[in-house]
Amino acid sequence: MALHITQDCTACDACRPVCPNEAIATGNPIHVIDPLRCTECVGAHDEPQCKLVCPANCIEVNPDFVEDRAQLEEKYNQLHG
């Protein structure tokens, strides 16, 4: 499951530098997560780093991108291969 950012985002930019996959981009007006790059931090960290640092609590799972842990690990390996 990739994560996505809701309209409550304040574009504070805290999340973008902590993403191990460079999956977060500056959008207009809110930041955007590329679901093809987000692994929920599987492969790099125990929990999603963007959610940890987000002061607006506006990062949720993206129901359109359902993936199990093995798929997320494979995705991470392909990104960093």
Kindly determine how many residues on this chain lie close enough to bind ligand SF4 according to the rule CB under 6 A.
29
Residue 50 binding ligand SF4, by CB under 6 A: yes
The residues in 2-41 that bind ligand SF4, with binding defined as CB under 6 A, are: 3, 5, 9-15, 18-21, 23-24, 31, 33, 38-41
Task: Report DSSP state, residue 54.
Answer: -
Phi, psi dihedrals of residue 62, rounded to the nearest 5°: -100, 105
In the bound complex, what is the minimum distance in angstroms from residue 63's beta carbon to ligand SF4? 15
- Quick count: other Cβ atoms within 10 Å of Cβ 64? 9
Give the Cα separation of 35 and 56 in Å (integer): 20
Report, in Å, the least distance between residue 7 CB and ligand SF4.
10
Q: Decide: residue 3, CB within 10 A, 0-12 exposed, 13-18 middle, 19+ buried.
A: buried
Chain residues in the site for ligand SF4 (CB under 6 A): 3, 5, 9-15, 18-21, 23-24, 31, 33, 38-41, 48-50, 53-54, 56, 58-59
